[in-house]
Amino acid sequence: MLFPDYRPRRLRQSVAFRRMIRETTLSTDDLILPLFAIDGKGVKNPIPSMSGHYQLSIDHLLKIAKKAHDLRIPAIMIFGIPKKKDSLATSAYAEDGIVQKAAKAVKDNVSDLAVITDVCLCQYTDHGHCGVLKGNIVDNDASLDLLAQTALSHVKAGADMVAPSDMMDGRVAEIRDLLDDNGFSDIPIMSYAAKYCSAYYGPFREAAESAPKFGDRKTYQMDPANALEAIREATMDVEEGADIIMVKPALPYLDIICRIRDEIDLPIAAYNVSGEYAMIKAADKMGWVDGQKVMMETLTAIKRAGAKMILTYFAIEAAMEIIEAG
């Protein structure tokens, strides 16, 4: 098709035409809202690098959960900030842990809202790494049982889905086996399968108080230069029993989302992470970009790349924009 026989502008000349041929449409059904739970009552600690987001005590978290539900957002993801940290991350799998209490409260009060819980140890260890240590090395196999126990404790508290983000080899199979053995074979696993060792996580680590006390996470999170490795990681997690495959971060890894979408026939999730959110908010505050338009363009791009679900701190704002647009 060549000009002048074909004129692409013919179908761009009106709002109606553009709507009719639009290939990717963002819906509230695509959105998952991450929330940070902390002990106490009446607590709403601002997160300086994430404008509009807070560490929330359960009473405040419930208000946001209800708002999300009212905006037709189908799910939230709960992260916990514990009262105490130790070398074995005991608060992660405690019956009265913060995530466990928050999950139960949400299901008791907003039962139709799906509760997904992040399964990791970094917020709960006194060293900030995602598994237990052997010397200064994260011990992969010794961490697996603790991760599985954490997932089980979340499900017993009411979580509808668990999402292991630790990047330990074999953790999906360990979690799947323990859930099945305890009568929870119907609980799905959203695996952070392609989680890169990214500089975009900075604001999250402030929010979750989870920065490592020494070293970095390069020995278990993926090298940003690698793509084929992401396919291997995703394939391994599928074989171990994952139900949803996640790519994190989203915007710098649209190619990975697309490649995994082509290779894997499970639903794909993408995490529009804290650094992506913070950059747009900062540029908007400075007047350099139109934050609302950049937000919607970014989320549309993530969906266009192949993500069926988008975890995003923009979920509330995006849902309001989608509903207003009709």
Count of CB atoms situated within 10 Å of the CB of 144: 21
Break the chain down into helix, strand, coil percent, rounded to 5: 45, 20, 35
The answer to whether 217 touches 202, Cβ cutoff 8 Å, is no
* Pair of tokens at residue 180: 């099945």
Q: Length of the chain, please?
A: 326
Residue 231 CB coordination number (10 Å): 18
Q: What are phi and psi of 55, to 5 degrees?
A: -80, 125
Contact 187, 163 (CB under 8 A): no
Beta-strand relationship, 161-164 and 114-119: parallel
Please identify which of the residues 195, 213, 218, 308 carries the catalytic annotation. Answer: 195
Q: Is 107 a catalytic residue?
A: no
Structure tokens at 287: 């007047």
Dist CA 119 CA 130 (whole Å): 10
Structure tokens at 83: 């009262």
Is 303 catalytic? The answer is no
Active-site choice (101, 107, 248, 303): 248
Active-site residue list? 195, 248
